[in-house]
A = this chain, B = another copy of it.
Amino acid sequence: MPAPLSPAPTVPAELIAALQTLLGPKGWSMDASVLEQHNREARGKFTGAADIVLYPASTDEVAACVRLCHRAAIALVPQGGNTGRCGGAVADNGQILINLGRMNQIINTDARDFTMTVQAGTILHTIQQTAENHDLLFPLSLGAQGSCQIGGNLATNAGGLNVIRYGNTRDLVLGLEVVLADGTIWNGLSKLRKDNTGYDLRDLFIGSEGTLGIITACTLKLFPRPRQIATAWVALESVDAALDLLALARRESGDAIAAFELMSQFAQDLCIRHIQNCTTPLQTVAPWYAMIEITSSRPHDDLTTVMHGLLERALESGFISDGTIAQSEAQRANLWALREGIPPAQTREGGSIKHDVSVPVSSVPALIERGIAQALKRIPGIRPCPFGHVGDGNIHFNFSQPVDMPREVFLAQWENLNRDIHDIVADLGGSISAEHGIGRLKVEELAHYADPAKMQLLKAIKQAIDPQNTLNPGKIVNPA
Contacts and interface: CB of A to CB of B under 8 A. Distances in A.
A453 interface: yes
A360 B431 contact: no
A3 to B, nearest CB: 18
A207 B212 contact: no
Contact of A436 (B196, B208, B297, B435): B196
B186 A453 contact: yes
Interface string A158-193: 010001100110110000000010001111101111
A433 B196 contact: yes
Contacts of A386: none
A393 B461 contact: no
Contact of A456 (B184, B192, B298, B300): B184
Contacts of A477: 198
Contact of A457 (B186, B255, B432, B435): B186
Contact of A297 (B115, B250, B358): B250
Contacts of A246: 112
Given A194-B163, A196-B433, A250-B224, A300 B296 contact: no
Given A186-B457, A437-B196, A296 B254 contact: yes
Contact of A192 (B186, B431, B451, B461): B431
A252 to B, nearest CB: 6
Contact of A196 (B111, B157, B251, B298): B157
Contacts of A430: 192
A454 B195 CA distance: 14
Interface in A183-229: 184-188, 190-201, 203-204, 206-208, 212, 223-225
Nearest to A467: B460
Given A256-B254, A298-B253, A306-B298, A358 B199 contact: no
Contact of A431 (B195, B298, B391): B195
Interface string A416-452: 0000000000000111111111100010001001110
A207 B201 contact: no
Nearest to A301: B254
B362 A113 contact: yes
Nearest to A227: B251
A376 B62 CA distance: 45
B298 A199 contact: no
A170 B201 CA distance: 13
B188 A362 contact: no
> Considering the complex of A and B, which 10 residue pairs feature the smallest CB-CB distances, nearest first?
A464-B464, A191-B360, A203-B203, A195-B431, A186-B453, A194-B434, A224-B251, A254-B298, A254-B296, A460-B464
Interface of A: 110-115, 135, 156-157, 159, 163-164, 167-168, 170-171, 180, 184-188, 190-201, 203-204, 206-208, 212, 223-225, 243-244, 246-247, 250-256, 296-301, 306, 309, 358-362, 389, 391-394, 429-438, 442, 446, 449-451, 453-454, 456-458, 460-465, 476-477
Given A184-B453, A461-B464, 9 more contacts: A192-B359, A193-B391, A196-B207, A196-B436, A197-B449, A200-B200, A224-B250, A252-B299, A254-B256
8 contacts: A111-B247, A171-B171, A196-B438, A197-B438, A200-B203, A201-B457, A224-B250, A463-B464
